[in-house]
Homo-oligomer: A and B are copies of this chain.
Amino acid sequence: MTSSIEPFFKAKGVAILGASTNPKKLSYGVVENLITYGFTGGIYPVNPNANELLGLKVYPQLAEVPDPVDLAVVVLPSNLILDMLEACGQRGIKAVVIITGGFKEVGESGARLEEEAMKIARHYGMRIIGPNCVGTMDMNTGVNTTFIKGMPVPGPIGFISQSGAICGGVVDLIIDTHIGFSHFASLGNEMDVNETDVMEYMEHDPNVKVIAMYIEGITNGPRFLEAARRISRKKPIVFLKAGRNDAGAKAVSSHTGSLAGSYAAYQAALAQAGVIEVDTIAELFAIAWALGTQQSPARRNVALATNAGGAAALAADSIDKNGFKLASIPVEVQKNLRTKLNPAAQVSNPVDMLGSVSPDDYRWSLSNLAEAETVDVLVPILVPQALVDTKGVAQAWIDISKSTNKTLLTCLMGQHSTSEAVRMLNENGVPVYVYPDQVGPVLKAFQVFKDVQERDEFREVTCPVKPRTLLDDLQLSKGQRLAFGEFETREVLEAYAIANVPGGMAKSNGEALKIADEVGYPVVIKIVAESILHKSDAGGIRLNIQNAEKLRIDYDELISHIEMNNPGVKINGVMVEKMAEKGQEVIVGMRRDATFGPMILFGMGGTLVELVKDVNLKAVPLSEADIDDLINQTMAGKLLKGFRGSLPADIEAVKDVIRKLSCLSLQNPSIQEIEINPLIVYQAGKGVVSLDSRMILSL
């Protein structure tokens, strides 16, 4: 099957609508780029007011453009866009890049224009990239619909960007270093084609070895995750999220929300899907370039070969911080190194050949280290010096890369004297970094990719049939209220067979006594009043009531205390519950993220929850491995396993609750958030029980 995205990168003929003869116009730049960078198909500028442009015939209208033409680039004001799309449709063009701005990003009228445009696109079965973007590049076909000056050399990185300017900046940044790319895709407003569409196209293009993404917001979280989960096992996906704080600052309505803002959801979901998240633009390409050119290390043992101890120390720190370690060099290898290196050289790891090193020193040390079974990664480092032949050293590293299958990452710690050597190394697929500390995060990314490849294939936890039309039965969503306390939430949990502590709501002292008789003493009583959210802060809880006499007194005291301190309060009743035995307190809950949909959260519960910030998140659907990770990545999870001699707790029962909340989230879209805190976890085999819970519904 041919992808509908293909013409954006492998067009046979490109029409440029609104191609200007003025070199200061963007459209002129597009035509120039198509001519300059080796595109061999037809280039058809369209402009009723010109005859010739850069030696090309200019067509007065699109209808007159000859075959083959399968891609149109539009650089015309937004008010002409609908006519232009109509013309594209009639000419049979199925792919359009709209570079022009003035759409959704300027407000309501622009958004309406996009809707109209999409109607035309759907009518003709056209795909659209943009508007408000800088277009696309394919370094192998020469298709270049951008006006960016310069085009990267062909290479392994497929780059998807939601910012056009970042694309321009990246070209300026890397063009002299000869880091290679397969594609650039600037997606602009994503009126039609979005980041997942292009990612799925890159999945099947053999020129793409690694996908690098600059993303401000994922369009459809669940669809992205499903695709990423599949693709990340074949091709690493390296991902930079911009606009973290905006998302994070978005007001969230409940306690749970404050622990798990939207960027936290991104971090959790990306990790779950096997995507390698990075912090900076520099890291995005440092990592993508290595993943695209080098193979993953077999294990985590790194050999450093350097002419500068300080630089090696910085590399070692970074390696250690990222979970790799310095390889131990076998004695016979050390002896062999010694035979040809400077007598003052250090032949254990880091191998330090001292300042005035020669290319042959590197050749000797690296070829010996490459042979050592204990070495998985080679990291040669050179700090340029007056008497050192930097280009010769680079050539030695390139030669080594051709004779070994071990992972090779290199460092030239300089700028002024290193540009040519950098170009040589990158052209030969040997990643070279300016700073020794860049090596660690790159190695960590290799490890993530390896771990993802070794994962079991994703299998969604299955849900039993939905228990019943829960919310209708409960008649909760009919009123104005959206936030519900324990009383109502208990019913939802019960419907999913999640154990609540035995108890019920009493409207009178007598009812309280009756409930206490049923559940048995000692009991706990809690006020139920809509206006009182934090019961314990309000003095609305009495613990450990031992008998009926005490209950009678405490009940009355509780009511009068609440009424006195909260004038006009409307008390709905009092929850009377069996005092639960002690166990480990965890928090388990679900909240819907605006991007990724339902997320399950788990962590340390009770009052420590806010202090310790031990909350982990996973997006639904979950696999069993996701559930294990959700628990094991927290302190709470470590405690459950039996910490410092305490007995292991009932982790199976916790997993059961997580599975049920995940099913609940899929079966009840109007439950916006639900939270159990604390869930008491008893010893293995003894189960769990919810001591308090609440939920929020959506309108």
A residues touching B (Cβ–Cβ < 8 Å)? 24, 29, 101-102, 106, 147-150, 161-166, 168-169, 171-177, 214, 216, 242-246, 248, 279-282, 307-311, 313-314, 316-317, 320-321, 344, 354-355, 383-387, 413-418, 434-437, 536-537, 607, 610-612, 635, 638-639, 643-646
Contacts and interface: CB of A to CB of B under 8 A. Distances in A.
Contacts of A172: 383-384, 413-418
A162 to B, nearest CB: 7
A548 to B, nearest CB: 28
Contact of A314 (B164, B281, B317): B281
B310 A214 contact: yes
20 contacts: A29-B386, A147-B386, A163-B311, A168-B383, A168-B385, A172-B383, A172-B414, A173-B416, A173-B434, A176-B416, A177-B415, A214-B310, A216-B310, A216-B313, A242-B313, A243-B316, A281-B435, A537-B644, A607-B646, A611-B643
A357 B607 CA distance: 52
Given A310-B214, A537-B644, A169 B242 contact: no
A311 B413 contact: no
A259 to B, nearest CB: 14
A588 B414 CA distance: 46
Given A172-B418, A214-B310, A611-B639, A244 B317 contact: yes
Contacts of A29: 386
B320 A244 contact: yes
Contacts of A435: 280-282
State the oligomeric state as a number of copies: 2
Contact of A169 (B176, B279, B383): B383
Contacts of A537: 644-645
A320 B245 contact: yes
A415 B176 contact: yes
Chain B CB within 10 Å — which of A149, A166, A177 has the most? Answer: A166
A279 B438 CA distance: 11
A292 B258 CA distance: 39
Contacts of A310: 161-166, 214, 216, 242
A306 to B, nearest CB: 8
A279 B173 CA distance: 23
Nearest to A611: B635
Chain B CB within 10 Å — which of A313, A320, A646 has the most? Answer: A313
Contacts of A147: 386
Given A281-B435, A643-B611, A166 B414 contact: no
Contact of A437 (B102, B279, B309, B610): B279
A147 B388 CA distance: 13
A309 B169 CA distance: 12
Given A243-B317, A317-B245, A320-B244, A355 B414 contact: no
A175 to B, nearest CB: 5
A401 to B, nearest CB: 23
A412 B147 CA distance: 19
A172 B281 CA distance: 23
In the A-B complex, list the 3 residue pairs whose CB atoms are closest, starting with the nearest.
Answer: A163-B310, A165-B308, A172-B414
Contacts of A280: 314, 435, 437
Contacts of A174: 415
A416 B307 contact: no
A417 to B, nearest CB: 5
A646 B244 CA distance: 34
Given A176-B415, A314-B281, A644 B607 contact: yes
A383 B170 CA distance: 9
A313 B165 contact: no
Contact of A150 (B169, B279, B416, B643): B416
Contacts of A161: 310
B320 A415 contact: no
Contact of A355 (B164, B307, B384): B164
Contact of A316 (B245, B316, B355): B245
A316 B417 CA distance: 34
Chain B CB within 10 Å — which of A168, A169, A280, A354 has the most? Answer: A169
A277 to B, nearest CB: 13
A169 B311 contact: yes
Contacts of A344: 101-102, 106
Given A149-B385, A216-B310, 10 more contacts: A101-B354, A149-B386, A150-B416, A164-B355, A165-B385, A174-B415, A244-B321, A246-B316, A536-B644, A612-B612
A437 to B, nearest CB: 5
Chain B CB within 10 Å — which of A214, A242, A308 has the most? Answer: A242
Nearest to A147: B386
A24 B308 CA distance: 19
A435 B612 CA distance: 33
Contact of A384 (B168, B214, B317): B168
Nearest to A434: B173
A549 to B, nearest CB: 27
B243 A313 contact: yes
A148 B161 CA distance: 42
A308 B163 contact: yes
B242 A317 contact: yes
A314 B162 CA distance: 13
A413 to B, nearest CB: 4
Contacts of A383: 165-166, 168-169, 172
Nearest to A249: B320
Contacts of A639: 611
Contacts of A243: 313, 316-317
Contacts of A242: 310, 313-314, 317
Contacts of A245: 316-317, 320-321
Nearest to A638: B611
B244 A355 contact: no
Contacts of A638: 611
A307 B165 contact: yes
A171 B418 CA distance: 12
A281 B645 contact: no
A435 B417 CA distance: 22
A607 to B, nearest CB: 5
A536 B645 contact: yes
A434 B170 CA distance: 11
A162 B308 CA distance: 11
Chain B CB within 10 Å — which of A355, A386, A417, A644 has the most? Answer: A386
Contacts of A321: 244-245
